[in-house]
Structure 1
Amino acid sequence: MEEAMGRPHALAIPLPAQGHVIPLMELSYCLAERGFKITFVNSEFIHERLMTALPDDSNIKNQIHFVSIPDGMGPGEDRNQFAKLLQCISRTMPSYLEELIKKMNESCKDKITCIIADENMGWAVKVAKKMGIPQAAFWPSSACLRALSVHIPKLIEAGVIDANGITRKQEILQLSSTLPVMDTTQLPWHCFDDPMMQQTVFHNSFTNNQAVKDADWLLCNSFYEIEPSAYPLNPNLLPIGPLLAGSQQRQFAGNFWQEDSTCLSWLNQQPACSVIYVSFGSFTVLDQTQFHELALGLELTDHKFLWVVRPDLTAGQAATYPEGFQARVAARGRTVSWAPQQTVLAHPSIACFMTHCGWNSTMEGLSMGVPFLCWPYFADQFLNQSYISDVWKVGLRLNSDHNGIVSREEIKKKVEEVLGNEKIRERALALKEMADKSVREGGSSTKNLNDFVEAMKGK
C-alpha cells in the first residue's frame, strides 16, 4: 500500500496554543526524520504568528508543510477568551478539516494516511474515523493529568464533583501512591475565575476523553520512568517523550515569538552554574506590583540572571522596571523578549530554572538536569509543581504572602536554598540520565515511537 501511495503522510493538528503546538511539532519532526510527509494544520491566527516568528535561515518548511483553517473567531477577537475559543473551534473547525483532507486525498500521492490530533481537539479523531483514516490522539501533558481526566466519571459518582465539575466535597485526592496529591478545590479546570469558563474547560476535557478513547493509538509527551504508576490508570497510553530531549536542531519549532539568540553569547561569558534562568512561558501574566517584586528579588539575590520578559507579560501595559533597576543590574542581568529555551537550559552556565511549570518547560528542565524554582500560574502547572517539588524533589516552590504576592525576600531565600542543596542537583542529574535513556535507541520511549511508526507505515 505504501508503494502505491508513496511515503506515509501524517496530518497533525494541535490545540492553537503555544504549549500544544511545540510538542506536536517535535513529534512531527521525529516522524519526518523517519520518512513521513507531514502536513501541520494550525488555525489561521496561529499560522500567521508562527510564520512571522520563523527565522529567515530556518529550513523547517522543507520538512513540514504548514496549512491553516479558520478557528471561528473574528480577526480582532481575543483568543485569550479561552472558553469562547474552545466553543468556536468545536463548532467551526471539523467541517474545514474534513474539506482540507478531501482536497488532499484527491491527489493519490498526497493521500493522508494518518491523522495525529491533540487530544484536546478530540473532534479531529472523530473526523478521521468518519473518513476511515487511521488516527492517533496525542496528549501533550503529564500522564497523571490525563489519568485525572479519565477519572472524572468516578469523581462524579463519588460525589466529589458535580456534573459541571464543581467541587462538592473538599478532600485530598491521590490517584496512586506515587502520584502527586491534589486538592479537589484546585482541580485544573478551577484555575479560571469565570465559572462559565470553568464549566467549558471541564466539559471540553470530559468530551475529548470520550472522543479519543477508541483511537487507534494514544501517545503522550512523557516517559515511563518519571510517572510509572500513571500508566495503569491510562489504558493503552504510550509515552514517547521527552520529545524535546536532544533535539537542538529543532529549537525553532512552534514559537509564537522570534527568539533572541544573542543571549547565548552573553551566557558563554558567564561561569558554570552561575545564572538563574527566569521564564514563565507564553500565557502567564503578572501585575505591575508582582513584576516589580520579581525584579527586585532577582536584584537582591546578587546572582547573574537571564530573564524572559514577553511583550505581554504585564497585563494591559508595557512592563516598567523599578526605578534604577536596569542600571544597577546591567553588569549581571540580561532580559530578552523570548529565548531559545532548550539551548539556554542546556548551557553550562545555568544554575537553576525559575518557571511557571508548564509541561514543556518541565520536560526541558528535566532533560537538561537543571534544578527548578516553581511559580505555577494556572491549570496543570500546580500538578506539575507538585511533581517537581514533592515527588521528584528536584526543585522548590515559591510561596506567595497573604496579599498573593511572591515577595523579593521569598525569591532571595528560595534561590539560596535551591542553589545550596546538593541533593536537589544530584536528583536533577539522575532524572536527566533517565530522560536521556528513554529516548536513546532501545529506550522505552523510542521503542514506543518506533512501534507507532511501523504500524502507520504498514497501514
Structure 2
Amino acid sequence: MALAKDENHNHGEQEQGRCSHFLVVAYGIQGHINPARTLARRLARIGGCTATLSVSASGHRRMFPSHGISCDEEVSDGLISYIPFSDGKDDGSWPTDSEDRARRREANFRSLSAVVDRLAASGRPVTCMLCTLSMPVVGEVAREHRLPISVYWIQPATVLATYYHYFHGHGELIGQHGGSSSTQDQVTLPGLHPLRISDMPSFFTEKTPSELSKMLLPAFRELFEQIEQEKLIVLVNTFDALEDVALKAIQPYMDVFAVGPAVPPPLGALPQHKDASEAAQIHLFKHDEKNCMEWLDAQLERSVVYLSFGSLLAYTKRQAEEILHGLQSHGQPYLWVVRKEGRAEEVDSCLREAKADSKGMVVEWCDQQKVLSHPSVGCFVTHCGWNSTLEAVVSGVPMLAVPSWSDQPMNAYLVEEEWRVGVRAERDAEGVLTRDELASRLELLMGGSERSGQIRANAQSLKERAQEAVATHGPLERSLRSFISKSMENLDQSRK
C-alpha cells in the first residue's frame, strides 16, 4: 500500500468531533482489516477526529512487510496510524483449546492496554474503542481504562438481528430444524421477512458442531450479553437503502448506526484532490495486477465471468475440476482466483489446464475492487462473504451466490430474494459446486432472458443507491457525525 500524506483531512472541521480519538481493533485477517481501515479513515476525515487501527502483530507484518519484523513499530499513512497488538504467539494461528484461548486473551489484554497507555503518553489519548465483531478482550481493556466501547458489526444488519433473536428466545426453535434445506422449514423473527432455516448462519444449524462453532458461538453470545448489559453502540457495515427492514427491526433492541458500505471508491471515481490511498485496499496476498488488468482490457464488455471464493476457502481437487469444466462448458472468458497459500498439490494439475485455456486466466490473488469495476466483467461467482457482496453491490455487478458457511447463506438469500441482483447455485451432497450447476446458473445470469436483464437493472439501481449513501453530507456522513457525538457523551458518562 502506498503511504501518502493527506493534507485535507481536517477540511470542514466540526466542534462535535474535536478531540475524539478512535482506537479501532480488528482481527488480522483480510476480511476484517479492510472494513476496519475504511471506517477508521472515514472517522479521521470528520473534523477534529483522529483514528488508530490496531490489528494482531502477524497481520500488521503482512500489511507492512517493508517495515521489518518489529512488533511494536507504528506506521502512519498520513491520515490514520497503525499499531499492532500481540496475542503472545504472533504467528497468525488460531487457539487450539480453551487453555490456549485463555493465554492469548490475557496477552491481548496486556498488549492492547499498553497501546492505550502509549497513545496517551504521546498526547493522543483514546476517547473511544471499537472492535470488529466479537472481541470481548477489547471490552475488558476499555473498562480498565474507563473508556466507552462500540462494536463494529461487519456482517449484514439482517444477520445482526438474527443473532440477537437466536440468543433471545428463538435459538431452540431454529436448532430444532437442524440442517434442513427444505423451503418449507421457515422461521419468522420479529420485524424480519420469513427466513428459511437453511439460510441461517451455519453455526446455528450444524448437526455436529465444529470446533470453530464451539469457539465462535459462545463468543457471540458473550458479545450480545455485553451489548445488552452495557448498552453498547453498534456500527453496522450496511446502508438504509440496502437493509432498511433489518435496521428497523433491530433498533428497538440496540443503538445501531448504519455506516456502510465500507468499500472505498474506485480510483477513477475519486475527486482530483484525493490521494490514491483513499481507494487502496489492504492485500495480505501478493497479486499480479498488471497482467490481470491488461487481460481484462482485451475482453468484450460484460463478457467475463469473475470467480473468487475469498481469502479463507481452500479447494479440493474435485471442486477445482468441477469449476474448470463448468467454466469451459459455459464458454465465456473467465478470471479465476485460486490462492496459492494452503493449496493442495493435486489442485495444481487442474490449474495448469485452466492456464492453458485461451479463454481463461487464473491468478493467485487480485485487486477485487478494481476487477469488479472493470467494464468487461459480466458477473461475479462468489462465496458471498459480506465484503465481497458489498463490493459487487457498489460496482453494480450481478452475482452467482455459492455460500459455504457462517453468514454466507444469509448473504446469498439477500442477493437472490431481497435485492434480486443475482441467483444462487446449490452445492451437492458433498458440498461441491458441480459443473452442470455452475454452467446452467451462469447461463441464467448472463444470457439474454428477461430475468437476467432485470437482474442487471436491479444491480445498477443498487449501485446508484450505494453512491447516494456515501455522497458528501449523505446518510453515511450524517450517521458518523451522530455516532461521534454519542461517543463523546458516553466518554463523559464513563468517567463520572
TM bracket (short chain): 0.7 to 0.9
Does the 8 Å contact 1:366/1:432 carry over to 2? yes
The partner residue of 1:380 within 403, 407, 417 is 407
Determine the C-alpha separation between the residues in 1 that align with 2:255 and 2:97: 29
What are the equivalent positions in structure 2 for 1:51-450 lying under 5 Å apart? 51-52=64-65, 61-73=77-89, 75=91, 78-79=93-94, 89-107=104-122, 109-155=123-169, 159-160=172-173, 167-170=175-178, 171-176=185-190, 179=193, 181-183=195-197, 187-190=201-204, 194-213=209-228, 214=230, 217-231=233-247, 232-234=249-251, 235-246=254-265, 248=267, 249=276, 250-262=278-290, 263-312=292-341, 314=343, 316-317=344-345, 319-322=347-350, 325-326=353-354, 328-329=356-357, 331-420=358-447, 421-450=452-481
Determine the C-alpha separation between the residues in 2 that align with 1:82 and 1:255: 29
Partner in structure 2 of residue 164 of structure 1: none
Partner in structure 2 of residue 9 of structure 1: 21
Determine the C-alpha separation between the residues in 2 that align with 1:344 and 1:410: 24
Does the 8 Å contact 1:19/1:360 carry over to 2? yes
Determine the C-alpha separation between the residues in 2 that align with 1:21 and 1:274: 31
Does the 8 Å contact 2:266/2:373 carry over to 1? no
Are the structure 2 counterparts of residues 251 and 441 from structure 1 closer, same or farther at C-alpha, using a change threshold of 3 Å?
Answer: closer
Does the 8 Å contact 1:40/1:64 carry over to 2? yes
Does the 8 Å contact 1:122/1:212 carry over to 2? no
Shift of residue 334 of structure 1? 1.5
Determine the C-alpha separation between the residues in 1 that align with 2:396 and 2:445: 13
Determine the C-alpha separation between the residues in 2 that align with 1:340 and 1:85: 35
Are the structure 2 counterparts of residues 343 and 228 from structure 1 closer, same or farther at C-alpha, using a change threshold of 3 Å?
Answer: same
Determine the C-alpha separation between the residues in 1 that align with 2:465 and 2:110: 42
Shift of residue 260 of structure 1? 2.5
Are the structure 2 counterparts of residues 29 and 127 from structure 1 closer, same or farther at C-alpha, using a change threshold of 3 Å?
Answer: same
AA aligned opposite 1:307 = W
Determine the C-alpha separation between the residues in 2 that align with 1:39 and 1:323: 41
AA aligned opposite 2:265 = G
Instruction: Give 3-state SS (helix, strand or coil) of 2:420's partner.
Output: coil
Are the structure 2 counterparts of residues 335 and 233 from structure 1 closer, same or farther at C-alpha, using a change threshold of 3 Å?
Answer: same
Q: Percent identity?
A: 25
Determine the C-alpha separation between the residues in 2 that align with 1:53 and 1:328: 34
Coordinate RMSD, CA, aligned: 3.0
Are the structure 2 counterparts of residues 13 and 191 from structure 1 closer, same or farther at C-alpha, using a change threshold of 3 Å?
Answer: farther
Determine the C-alpha separation between the residues in 1 that align with 2:429 and 2:148: 52
Does the 8 Å contact 1:180/1:386 carry over to 2? no
Range that drifts further, 392-401 or 35-44: 35-44
Range that drifts further, 246-255 or 363-372: 246-255
Instruction: Give 3-state SS (helix, strand or coil) of 1:160's partner.
Output: helix
Does the 8 Å contact 1:178/1:391 carry over to 2? no
Are the structure 2 counterparts of residues 218 and 395 from structure 1 closer, same or farther at C-alpha, using a change threshold of 3 Å?
Answer: same
Determine the C-alpha separation between the residues in 2 that align with 1:269 and 1:145: 39
Determine the C-alpha separation between the residues in 1 that align with 2:227 and 2:192: 26
TM-score (norm 1): 0.87
Instruction: Give 3-state SS (helix, strand or coil) of 1:291's partner.
Output: helix
Are the structure 2 counterparts of residues 67 and 442 from structure 1 closer, same or farther at C-alpha, using a change threshold of 3 Å?
Answer: closer
Shift of residue 184 of structure 1? 6.9
Does the 8 Å contact 2:354/2:362 carry over to 1? no
Shift of residue 149 of structure 1? 1.9
* Pairs aligned (count): 443
Does the 8 Å contact 1:191/1:379 carry over to 2? no
